[in-house]
Amino acid sequence: MTCDICEQIKKRKNAVYASDKIVVFIPDEAIVQGHLVIAPVDHYPILEAVPEDVLKEMFIVANKIGIAVFEALGAQGTNILIQNGTAAGQEKPHVLLHVIPRNENDGLDLMWETKQLSEEEMSTLELQLKEQTGEVGAETTVEKPDKGDEKKTEKVKEDYKMKSLIRIP
């Protein structure tokens, strides 16, 4: 299966900026004038698969693109949006970071209703999330055999990308 986004990146179709890691382009189906998309050059179907250096560049460029949108188009605000997984509205199997210029009364409704959780629901949710996020970014020690008989320990970061592969849309 060919990825439409990968093809668009190769052709640099509607590109306004490109580096060796990312491309910024105007989508064929923009939701407002000035809507831009930042995509990794390499194919990554979900956010958790994108290497940290690429994510870093995507967000740095999103910040600079936001400034350009304010200055060039006179936008009054921006939405920075990633739809990660089909349940979140992701339609293409390629990570996309949307920069959406906003103006008062532009008719674009990205608002959602908030829900009040009970104290019990909040407590349960907090425990569940703390259990899963407690080790985020933490280093773990792994024993690696050396060429000799001595055991060698090495600190490595846990690979959350592998855990997230079952979420690929």
For every residue of the chain, DSSP letters joined together read ---HHHHHHHHTTTEEEE-SSEEEE--TT-SSTT-EEEEESS--SSGGGS-HHHHHHHHHHHHHHHHHHHHHH--SEEEEEE--SGGGT--SSS--EEEEEE-TT----------PPPHHHHHHHHHHHHHHHTTTT-EEEEEEE-SSSSEEEEEEE--HHHHHGGG--
Q: Which two tokens stand for residue 31?
A: 């939701």
Question: Which of 40-44, 69-73, 107-111 shows the highest mean pLDDT?
Answer: 40-44
Mean pLDDT, residues 30-39 taken together = 95
70: phi > 0 → left, psi -120 to 50 → alpha, else beta; which?
Answer: alpha
CA 72/CA 82 separation, integer angstroms: 23
- Farthest CA pair distance, the chain: 70
State in Å, rounded, how far the first CA of the chain is from the last one: 14
CA–chain centroid gap for 28, Å, is: 20
For residue 168, pLDDT beyond 50 = yes
Mode of pairing for the β-strands spanning 139-145 and 15-18 = unpaired
132-152 pLDDT, tens digit per residue, is 887 776 654 545 555 555 555
What domains are there in the chain, each with its CATH number? Answer: 4-102 (3.30.428.10)
13-27, 83-97, 98-112, 134-148: range with lowest mean pLDDT: 134-148
8-17, 55-64, 99-108, 154-163: range with lowest mean pLDDT: 154-163
Q: From the CB of residue 112, how many other CB atoms can be counted at a distance below 10 Å?
A: 6
Using a pLDDT cut of 90, give the percent of the chain over it: 65
| pLDDT value at residue 68 | 94
